[in-house]
């Protein structure tokens, strides 16, 4: 059998990068890879989140489970999560959260003694480990001045008290959404817009204007100098076919041709703040690699070699 | 207001709007009268009908009853008497150890008390006996306790503001209008009845024409029917066993001349022709004088004919000095109406017409009950006084007022309210199910109870007439809100602005009528009554006389009403067809406010509305100044009501305030209901009551037996005006879910929905179920011992795990099945009284309470409350809480009657996503749309999507587009396009599994979803081995008893048809109740097996020779023996198989 490699060299080009937001292009690969990356980012990049809550005193209006659920959803900084152990795999402890490899302990003590309501927020959560703390959104926004107080947990009236011990553990989004580091991970196919210049030149200005206006997003515009319809922002196109429909109704089918490039994707990644957006992508790639390794090295793969043939060889790096 | 709120997000459109309005409106634009609705509800409240009715009873009704029966005189010595001078209801109090304490309704709910206030009377009485008599007076004597309607005038909550209500533990959004009886909230449902004291022309079962009057006065109640049989008129009255020719009755009442009767009917020769057969019959009976007629009647009813005619026949027509002439005229009018109906079928009355109906409210029902109990008490007191006098007690200072202090009134009222049985012998009333428990499933559900109207008919009647939607229901009763099934169309609900009237003093009104030119009946001859140029005037079903200028008279009366010289709810209705002016001031009529228009021009002007908005004008000012008036169903027939101000013609007399007020409270929650297929709105009305959400602001302080709460309830993105008016935006019952209308995974067929696991993780559809467990500690048995709670003894460490040292479960503890939550012990000996020493070493046996629940469900003890019940027993209540996240099979519904169960739960990464990163919370199958035609749901999706994009709540009030209370689809689409969405609400979506774009654009956006109370956890059930019924030895029935799953008749039929005989044998006998019997082949009867002798024996044959052993279902053996016990001998004939 002829050895033929399907290997492609994907290219990533970063367009925009902030702590919790990133936009990048992924080229020279196909939807399966792009989607795998997206799925891993959502569901399999580990973070740390509160998983066990021991309530000592709770005289607030919200009940224990309610507060526990809210605590779980608070994003914690999880740069260390990749190197931590899952508490179920931890040898050093029996998963009760005392060991440093798999868990972090938090304490919360709040009591309202004044007449105003007291807001208990994620800032009141005291961590035993300075690397795992509730995400500070002011820091991300770069806004030190504003009085944002973190994620609200409960409001206390005079005399009410909340005292608890919480244990955060490593986990992945597949088990519970609280461990998902991704707020939004999405991609789109890069659109390729071709304007038939000859046909366009023959149109009147009103027609051109109506074509430009037919798109709900600002994709086209009229060049002020040449009076030609030009593409100003191809990525603003939402594949809504409005322009195509408009042209059809005008009887100018083929004037503008829009295709999705099958091998280029524009990713948008937003994180909860648990990890940096860039780190999230890197972690996702790392995990994807580990997963592929797991497939490649498993006994089943070797056995299935006959069935998969060259694909099996390809996966083993051939 | 509508235009203002439109201004929210988009200044550009508003500018356009204003410009267009300026240009396109040559005259002035319609006045936005919407603000009148909230103002109306502020003044009248959502349940004002109940409150008004109860207040009327408390202020006027009870006084009338007491005044009518104000004297209790001894029959032995008539100079000894008690006289009631005044009666009133005090403030709600509770008497604890002889000290009376102020009582708040929430205290009653928590400690199972009845929220009552004392009925206080001032009395004057004679004390002493024969020689020494003093007239004494006493004030503020309590004769019993009256259950108090919440928020009524005598309730402590009356007129309190939000902070004060909160202090009393009450929810400010709770409308009141119900009672608290023994800790449960009870509503007296509105009862629908046919109007009393009115002539109704109808046909009976045989198709004969009848005219019937249900007379109801303070003294008597009767039903008079005049029936036409074979062209002849007869009177049918319960007191007479047979039908009486009507002419005999007329003669008996003193109209001896036939001519006079004909004159009373009117001049038309057709009428006299129709009366001829009746006249002939009377003549053939040889009755020509009153004397003869009475004799004839006396034969039918041993000598009481005259008194029956006077007191029972047409009891609503008053008889002064034995003058029966008014009754004769009344009969003549009835006959005339019947004849009109013969000549012209249109003149028949429609029993289902809302104008012929009266609604009986809590005040009237309680007043009936109170009157009965009060009269019973009076006779009882009378008897006691007599007994005291005849006994000749030496203490001559006997005080008759002491006999008043009885519990009979309190107990009677409390019993009726808690059982719902109105059993008033005195008024021949025997109704069941008058009260219902106010279920606190959802805020909206409990509101629904207060507007519900119960029918008077049997529910089983299979007639369509009363169930059909009546055109006269418009604006009065909600056209959507009715249950499905047997009560469909019979149980109705009030519309948003409906008011139910209370009785009004009729004396002044009658004299007013005479002042305005009504010619008195007494002064008119029969002939004059029906002259062609005059109309009869009827007041509350009573003929006052006639008027020559009916329109002028009606106009004058209405003018007086608009000037508030007479009550605002008095109705003046000119019936041109019957040539009668009907004036009604009785209670129970439904009416609604309308804007008055003069020649089509609204009286409410822009400046009025501005003053209203500024708060210098109230709804009552509108009424007082004659800008708005109440019309009842009958008077609506004299009005030409236009829907909008722009649609008026010069004939228009009234303008609707807002069209959406034709719907009720519950149908008002549906956005764009006017775009939906009508039954869908009806389904939603039923489902909205089952939706979980917030119950009330005090929901966590309540001790309900079962409470469902949503963890994160939201207010709908697409609201309606009604939602804001009733407070649904503050106590919502649902969540805004992003819905994608597409097919996914195949687990979405038959309306199932696919849910996003991450959404569930984040709290979508999460709910709390609270259940009550309670236990009463018996303080005192006959032996003198009492129950006790002991600290855990450590005997069963595992089950006593959650107990505190006080022997009660600690709040916050996780409780598992079989855990003990009250470590109670009861004395072993409870019978005869024991001495103190015996009590000290009394033995106790454990009678602890343990949690019963499904295995594996981890509940938490939420609260423990201790209270004392009225027998002074300690009562312990526990609330056990369980938090649930949605699971497969839980039921959800949108607000458009589209229910579905959760079909599967899928990981977020597998869910489709848009390039903006939007990922739906749930996926709904598009097949739900075509057959249901719920276009409103699609518009809701569009509107909510636009709403989240631009940050403004959109509106979808019913019929709201013209008046700006519903956003138009055009405007919504524009908003969508402005925010980069497609105008049609569809998005380009990628598959989450492959990453490829989907072939179709997907309709996606937020829809308000309700979680319904039906959850799999409460319903799922399976069993293998399990308990059996003792009698039949068959498996028990039902989930609660861990019952078996029945192979029923139809399932059996399938198996028979298939021929699976061994399976039938197994299911019907082996898995059920196999039993081995000994059958004597000789006699065919059952024998028995003697275990001592190890042989079978036939007790009939007295031997064991021919015994065969076989298997039989135990139920069959039981049947054989039961038959034997009835002297039937079933014999078994056995054959070898």
DSSP per position, B167-223: HTT--TT-----EEETTEEEEEPEEEEEPTT-EEEEE-TTS-EEEEEEEE-SS-EEE
B465 compared with B496, residue with greater pLDDT: B496
Specify the pLDDT at position B494: 92
Architecture field, domain B767-884: Beta Barrel (2.40)
Q: What pLDDT digit, counting tens, does each position of A203-240 carry? A: 888 888 888 888 888 888 888 888 888 888 888 888 87
Of A254, A270, A293, at which residue does a domain stop? A254
CATH H-level, domain B672-699+711-765+888-1011: superfamily: DNA-directed RNA polymerase, subunit 2, domain 6 (2.40.270.10)
Q: What is the mean pLDDT of residues B199-209?
A: 85
Contacts of A35 in chain B (CB under 8 A): 992-995
Q: Which of B883, B983, B997 sits opposite A216 (nearest CB)?
A: B983
Specify the pLDDT at position B608: 85
Would residue A240 count as lying in a domain?
A: yes
DSSP codes joined into one string, B219-243: S-EEEEEEEEETTEEEEEETTSSS-
Label each residue of B435-485 as H, E or C: EEECCCCCHHHHHHHHHEEECCCCCCCCCCHHHCCCHHHCCCECCCCCCCH
Q: Residue A173 is part of which domain span? A: 47-179
**Closest Cα in chain A, distance from residue B985 (Å):** 11
Same domain flag for A148 and A56: yes
Same domain flag for A219 and A98: no
Of A254, A278, A301, at which residue does a domain stop? A254
Exposure string for B177-192, b = 16+ CB within 10 A, e = fewer: bbbbbebbbbbbbbbb
Residue A139 gets the label, from left (phi > 0), alpha (psi -120 to 50) or beta, of alpha
Q: Is B751 a catalytic residue?
A: yes
Q: What pLDDT digit, counting tens, does each position of B990-1031 carry? A: 999 999 999 999 999 999 999 999 999 888 888 888 999 999
Specify the pLDDT at position B485: 85
Instruction: Give the domain ranges of chain B.
Output: 44-193+359-447, 199-315, 505-585, 672-699+711-765+888-1011, 767-884, 1049-1125
**Closest Cα in chain B, distance from residue A2 (Å):** 29
**Helices and strands (DSSP H and E) totals, chain B:** 32, 56
Contact B757 A177 (CB under 8 A): yes
Which pLDDT band, with edges at 50, 70 and 90, does A314 fall under?
Answer: low
Report the range of poorest mean pLDDT among A301-305, B376-380, B1089-1093: A301-305
Specify the pLDDT at position B30: 59
For chain B, the average pLDDT equals: 86
Residues of B contacting chain A (CB within 8 angstroms): 700, 711, 757-759, 761-763, 766, 768, 812, 860, 862, 881, 883, 907-909, 913-917, 976-977, 980-983, 987-988, 990, 992-997, 1001
Report the range of poorest mean pLDDT among A64-68, A284-288, B21-25, B655-659: B21-25
Would residue A285 count as lying in a domain?
A: no
Report the range of poorest mean pLDDT among A76-80, B296-300, B328-332, B770-774: B296-300
CATH H-level, domain B1049-1125: superfamily: RNA polymerase alpha subunit dimerisation domain (3.90.1800.10)
Does residue A202 surpass a pLDDT of 50? Answer: yes
Specify the pLDDT at position B25: 42
Specify the pLDDT at position B10: 43
Does residue B1119 surpass a pLDDT of 70? Answer: yes
Which pLDDT band, with edges at 50, 70 and 90, does B458 fall under?
Answer: low
Q: Which of B768, B977, B993 sits opposite A216 (nearest CB)?
A: B977
Architecture field, domain B199-315: Alpha-Beta Complex (3.90)
The tally of domains found in chain A comes to: 2
List Cβ neighbours of B15 (8 Å cut-off, separation of 6 or more). none
Which pLDDT band, with edges at 50, 70 and 90, does B680 fall under?
Answer: very high
Contacts of B983 in chain A (CB under 8 A): 216
Q: What CATH number corresponds to the domain at position A174?
A: 2.170.120.12
Q: Could you tell me the sign of the dihedral formed by the alpha carbons of B520, B526, B527, B530, in that order? A: positive
* H helix or E strand, kind and range, residue B927: none
Same domain flag for A231 and A127: no
Q: What's the distance, Cα to Cα, between the start and end of chain A in Å?
A: 13
Contact A66 B711 (CB under 8 A): yes
DSSP codes joined into one string, B45-71: -TTHHHHHHHHHIIIIIHHHHHHHT-E
Same domain flag for A66 and A162: yes
Q: What pLDDT digit, counting tens, does each position of B48-73 carry? A: 889 989 999 999 889 988 888 888 88
Specify the pLDDT at position A144: 56
Q: What is the mean pLDDT of residues B223-232?
A: 87
Specify the pLDDT at position B9: 41
**Closest Cα in chain B, distance from residue A297 (Å):** 24
Which pLDDT band, with edges at 50, 70 and 90, does A309 fall under?
Answer: low
Specify the pLDDT at position B800: 85
Does residue B269 surpass a pLDDT of 80? Answer: yes
Q: Which chain B residue has its CA at the smallest distance from A242's CA?
A: B982
Contacts of A34 in chain B (CB under 8 A): 995
Would residue A301 count as lying in a domain?
A: no
Contacts of A39 in chain B (CB under 8 A): 909, 992
Q: Which chain B residue has its CA at the smallest distance from A262's CA?
A: B996
Label each residue of chain A as H, E or C: CCCCCCCCCCEEEEEEECCCEEEEEEECCCHHHHHHHHHHHHHCCCEEEEEEEEEEEECCCCCHHHHHHHHHCCCECCHHHHHCCCCCCCCCCCCCCCCCCCEEEEEEEEECCCCCCEEEEHHHCEECCCCCCECCHHHHHCCCCCCCCCCEEEEECCCCEEEEEEEEEEECCCCCHHHCCEEEEEEEEEEEEEECHHHHHCCCHHHHHHHHHHCCCCCEEECCCCCCEEECCHHHCCCCCHHHHHHHHHCCCCCEEEEEEEEEEEEEEEECCCCCHHHHHHHHHHHHHHHHHHHHHCHHHHHCHHHHCHHHHHHCCC
Q: What pLDDT digit, counting tens, does each position of B510-546 carry? A: 889 888 888 888 888 777 788 888 888 999 888 888 8
For chain A, the average pLDDT equals: 84
Contacts of A173 in chain B (CB under 8 A): 758, 908-909
Would residue A204 count as lying in a domain?
A: yes
Same domain flag for A74 and A139: yes
CATH class name, domain B505-585: alpha beta
Report the range of poorest mean pLDDT among A193-202, B429-438, B1094-1103: A193-202
Does residue B26 surpass a pLDDT of 80? Answer: no
Question: Which value, in Å, is the radius of gyration of the alpha carbons in chain A?
Answer: 26
Determine phi and psi for A74, rounding to 5 degrees. -75, 125
Does residue B1034 contact residue B1018 with C-beta atoms inside 8 Å?
Answer: no
Would residue A185 count as lying in a domain?
A: no
Does residue B4 surpass a pLDDT of 50? Answer: no
B464 compared with B717, residue with greater pLDDT: B717
Which pLDDT band, with edges at 50, 70 and 90, does B208 fall under?
Answer: confident
Q: Which chain B residue has its CA at the smallest distance from A65's CA?
A: B883
Does residue A302 surpass a pLDDT of 80? Answer: no
B782 compared with B229, residue with greater pLDDT: B229
DSSP assigned state of B354 = G
Specify the pLDDT at position B428: 75
Contact A63 B881 (CB under 8 A): yes
Q: Are strands B788-789 and B824-827 parallel, antiparallel or unpaired?
A: antiparallel
Specify the pLDDT at position B282: 83
* H helix or E strand, kind and range, residue B709: strand B706-710
Specify the pLDDT at position B23: 46
Does residue B1026 contact residue B1036 with C-beta atoms inside 8 Å?
Answer: yes
Cα distance between residue B380 and residue B1016, in whole Å: 56
Alpha-helix runs per DSSP H in B715-797: 721-726, 757-761
Does residue B14 surpass a pLDDT of 50? Answer: no
Does residue B1 surpass a pLDDT of 70? Answer: no
Q: What percent of chain B has pLDDT over 70?
A: 95
Q: Which of B350, B729, B751, B910 is catalytic?
A: B751
Mutate to test the interface with B, among A238, A284, A288 (most CBs of B within 10 A): A238
Same domain flag for A153 and A62: yes
Specify the pLDDT at position B12: 45
**Closest Cα in chain A, distance from residue B755 (Å):** 14
Same domain flag for A56 and A171: yes
Q: What pLDDT digit, counting tens, does each position of B634-666 carry? A: 999 999 999 888 888 888 999 988 888 999 999
Please give the C-alpha separations between residue A215 and each of A247, B942, B979, in angstroms, as whole numbers.
11, 19, 12
Q: Which of A63, A178, A238 sits opposite B915 (nearest CB)?
A: A238
Specify the pLDDT at position B130: 65
Contacts of B707 in chain A (CB under 8 A): none
Same domain flag for A108 and A156: yes
Same domain flag for A127 and A53: yes
Q: Which chain A residue has its CA at the smallest distance from B760's CA?
A: A177
Contact B907 A73 (CB under 8 A): no
Does residue B566 surpass a pLDDT of 80? Answer: yes
Q: What is the mean pLDDT of residues B1110-1137?
A: 92
Interface ipTM: 0.90
Of A179, A206, A224, at which residue does a domain stop? A179
Same domain flag for A130 and A160: yes
Q: What is the mean pLDDT of residues B952-974?
A: 91
């Amino acid at each position: 059998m002829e050895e033929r490699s399907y290997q492609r060299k994907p290219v990533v080009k970063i367009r925009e990068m902030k702590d919790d937001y990133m936009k990048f292009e992924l080229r020279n690969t196909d939807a399966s890879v792009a989607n795998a990356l997206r799925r891993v980012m959502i569901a399999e990049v580990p973070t740390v989140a509160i998983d066990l809550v021991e309530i000592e005193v709770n005289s607030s209006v919200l009940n224990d489970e309610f507060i526990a659920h809210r605590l779980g959803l608070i994003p914690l900084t999880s740069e260390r999560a990749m190197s931590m152990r899952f508490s179920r795999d931890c040898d050093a402890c029996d998963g009760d959260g005392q060991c440093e490899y798999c868990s972090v302990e938090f304490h919360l003590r709040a009591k309202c003694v004044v007449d105003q309501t007291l807001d208990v927020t994620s800032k009141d959560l005291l961590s035993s480990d300075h690397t795992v703390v509730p995400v500070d959104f002011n820091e991300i926004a770069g806004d030190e001045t504003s009085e944002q107080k973190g994620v609200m947990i409960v409001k206390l009236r005079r005399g009410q008290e909340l005292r608890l011990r919480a244990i955060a553990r490593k986990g992945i989004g597949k088990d519970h959404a609280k461990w998902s580091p991704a707020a939004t991970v999405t991609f789109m196919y890069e659109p390729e817009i071709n304007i038939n210049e000859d046909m366009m030149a023959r149109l009147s200005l009103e027609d051109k204007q109506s074509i430009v206006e037919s798109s709900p997003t600002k994709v086209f515009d009229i060049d002020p100098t040449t009076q030609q319809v030009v593409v100003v922002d191809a990525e603003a196109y939402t594949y809504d076919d409005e322009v195509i429909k408009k042209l059809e109704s005008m009887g100018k089918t083929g004037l503008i041709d829009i295709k999705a490039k099958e091998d280029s994707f524009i990713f948008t990644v937003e994180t909860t703040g648990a990890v940096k957006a860039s780190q999230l992508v890197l972690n996702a790639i790392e995990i994807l690699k580990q997963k592929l390794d797991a497939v490649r090295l498993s006994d089943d793969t070797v056995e299935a070699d006959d069935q998969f043939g060259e694909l099996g060889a390809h996966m083993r790096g051939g | 207001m509508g235009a203002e709120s439109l201004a929210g997000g988009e200044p550009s459109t508003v500018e356009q709007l204003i410009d267009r309005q300026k240009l396109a409106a040559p005259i002035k634009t319609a006045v936005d009268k919407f603000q009148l609705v909230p103002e109306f509800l502020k003044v009248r409240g959502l349940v004002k009908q109940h409150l008004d009715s109860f207040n009327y009873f408390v202020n006027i009704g009870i006084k009338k009853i007491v005044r009518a029966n104000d004297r209790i005189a001894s029959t032995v010595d008539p100079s000894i008497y008690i006289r009631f001078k005044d009666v009133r209801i005090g403030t709600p109090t509770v008497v604890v150890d002889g000290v009376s304490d102020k009582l708040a309704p929430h205290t009653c709910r928590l400690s199972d008390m009845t929220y009552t206030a004392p009925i206080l009377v001032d009395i004057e009485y004679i004390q002493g006996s024969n020689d020494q008599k003093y007239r004494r007076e006493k004030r503020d004597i309590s004769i019993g306790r009256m259950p108090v309607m919440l928020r009524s005038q005598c309730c402590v909550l009356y007129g309190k503001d939000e902070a004060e209500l909160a202090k009393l533990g009450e929810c400010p959004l709770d409308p009141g209008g119900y009672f608290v009886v023994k800790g449960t909230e009870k509503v007296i449902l509105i009862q629908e009845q046919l109007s009393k004291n009115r002539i109704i022309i109808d046909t009976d079962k045989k198709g004969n024409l009848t005219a019937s009057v249900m007379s109801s006065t303070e003294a008597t109640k009767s039903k008079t029917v005049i029936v036409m049989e074979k062209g002849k008129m007869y009177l049918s009255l319960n007191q007479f066993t047979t039908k009486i020719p009507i002419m005999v009755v007329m003669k008996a009442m003193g109209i001896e001349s036939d001519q006079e009767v004909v004159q009373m009917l009117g001049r038309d020769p057709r009428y006299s022709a129709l009366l001829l057969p009746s006249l002939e019959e009377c003549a053939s009976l040889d009755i020509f004088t009153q004397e003869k007629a009475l004799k004839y009647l006396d034969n039918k009813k041993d000598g009481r004919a005259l008194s029956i005619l006077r007191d029972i026949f047409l009891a609503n027509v008053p008889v002064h000095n034995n003058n029966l002439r008014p009754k004769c005229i009344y009969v003549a009018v009835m006959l005339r109406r019947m004849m009109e109906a013969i000549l012209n079928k249109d003149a028949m009355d429609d029993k289902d017409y809302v104008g012929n109906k009266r609604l009986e409210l809590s005040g009237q029902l309680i007043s009936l009950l109170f009157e009965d109990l009060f009269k019973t008490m009076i006779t009882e007191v009378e008897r006691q006084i007599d007994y005291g006098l005849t006994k000749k007690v030496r203490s001559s200072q006997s005080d008759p007022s002491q006999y008043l202090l009885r519990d009979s009134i309190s107990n009677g009222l409390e019993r009726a309210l808690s059982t719902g049985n109105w059993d008033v012998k005195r008024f021949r009333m025997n109704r069941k199910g008058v009260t219902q428990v106010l279920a606190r499933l959802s805020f909206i559900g409990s509101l629904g109870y207060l507007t519900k109207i119960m029918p008077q008919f049997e529910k089983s009647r299979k007639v369509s007439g009363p169930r059909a939607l009546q055109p006269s229901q418009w604006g009065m009763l909600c056209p959507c809100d009715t249950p499905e099934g047997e009560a469909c169309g019979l149980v109705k609900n009030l519309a948003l602005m409906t008011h139910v009237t209370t009785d009004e003093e009729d004396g002044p009104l009658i004299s007013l009528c005479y002042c305005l030119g009504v010619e008195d009946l007494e002064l008119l001859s029969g002939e004059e009554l029906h002259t062609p140029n005059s109309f009869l005037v009827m007041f509350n079903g009573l003929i006052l006389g006639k008027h020559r200028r009916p329109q002028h008279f009606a106009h004058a009366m209405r003018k007086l009403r608009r000037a508030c010289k007479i009550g605002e709810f008095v109705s003046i209705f000119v019936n041109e067809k019957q040539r009668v002016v009907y004036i009604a001031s009785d209670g129970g009529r439904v009416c609604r406010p309308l804007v008055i228009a003069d020649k089509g021009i609204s009286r409410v002007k822009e400046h009025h509305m501005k003053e209203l908005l500024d708060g210098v004008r109230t709804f009552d000012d509108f009424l007082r100044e004659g800008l708005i008036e109440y019309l009842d169903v009958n008077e609506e027939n004299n009005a030409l009501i236009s829907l909008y101000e722009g649609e008026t013609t010069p004939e228009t007399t009234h303008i609707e305030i807002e069209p959406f007020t034709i719907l009720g409270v519950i149908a008002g929650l549906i956005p764009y209901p006017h775009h939906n297929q009508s039954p869908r709105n009806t389904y939603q009305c039923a489902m909205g009551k089952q939706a979980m959400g917030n119950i009330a602001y005090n929901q966590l302080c309540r001790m309900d037996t079962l409470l469902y709460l949503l963890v994160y309830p939201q207010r709908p993105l697409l609201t309606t005006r009604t939602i804001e008016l009733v407070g649904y935006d503050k106590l919502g019952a649902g969540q805004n879910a992003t819905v994608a209308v597409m097919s996914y995974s195949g687990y979405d067929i038959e309306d199932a929905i696919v849910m996003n696991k991450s959404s569930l993780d984040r709290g979508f559809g999460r709910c709390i179920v609270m259940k009550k467990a309670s236990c009463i500690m018996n303080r005192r048995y006959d032996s003198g011992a009492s129950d006790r709670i002991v600290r855990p003894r450590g005997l069963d460490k595992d089950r006593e795990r959650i107990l505190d040292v006080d022997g009660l479960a600690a709040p916050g503890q996780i409780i598992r099945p079989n855990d003990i939550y009250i470590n109670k012990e009861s004395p072993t000996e409870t019978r005869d009284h024991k001495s103190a020493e015996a009590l000290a070493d009394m033995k106790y046996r454990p009678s602890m309470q343990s949690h019963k629940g499904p295995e594996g469900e981890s509940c938490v003890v939420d609260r423990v409350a201790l209270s004392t019940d009225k027998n002074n027993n300690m009562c312990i209540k526990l609330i056990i809480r369980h938090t649930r996240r949605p699971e497969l099979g839980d039921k959800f519904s949108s607000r458009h009657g589209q229910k579905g169960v959760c079909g599967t739960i899928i990981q977020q990464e597998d869910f489709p996503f848009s390039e903006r990163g939007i990922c739906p919370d749930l996926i709904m199958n598009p097949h739900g749309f075509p057959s249901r035609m719920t276009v409103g749901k699609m518009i809701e999706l569009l509107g909510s999507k636009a709403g989240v994009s631009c940050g403004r709540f959109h509106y979808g009030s019913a019929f709201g587009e013209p008046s700006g209370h519903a956003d138009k689809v055009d405007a919504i689409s524009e908003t969508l396009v402005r925010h980069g969405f497609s105008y049609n609400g569809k998005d380009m979506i990628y598959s989450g599994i492959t990453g490829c774009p989907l072939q179709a654009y997907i309709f996606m956006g937020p829809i308000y979803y309700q979680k319904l109370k039906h959850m799999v956890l409460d319903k799922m059930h399976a069993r293998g081995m399990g308990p059996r019924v003792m009698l039949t030895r068959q498996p028990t029935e039902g989930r609660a008893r861990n019952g078996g799953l029945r192979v029923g008749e139809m399932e059996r039929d399938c198996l028979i048809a298939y021929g699976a005989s061994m399976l039938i044998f197994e299911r019907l006998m082996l898995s059920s109740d196999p039993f081995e019997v000994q059958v004597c082949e000789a006699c065919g009867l059952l024998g028995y097996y003697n275990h001592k002798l190890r042989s079978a024996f036939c007790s009939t044959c007295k031997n064991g020779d021919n015994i065969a052993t076989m298997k039989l279902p135990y139920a069959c053996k039981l049947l054989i023996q039961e038959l034997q016990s009835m002297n039937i001998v079933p014999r078994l004939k056995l054959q070898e198989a």
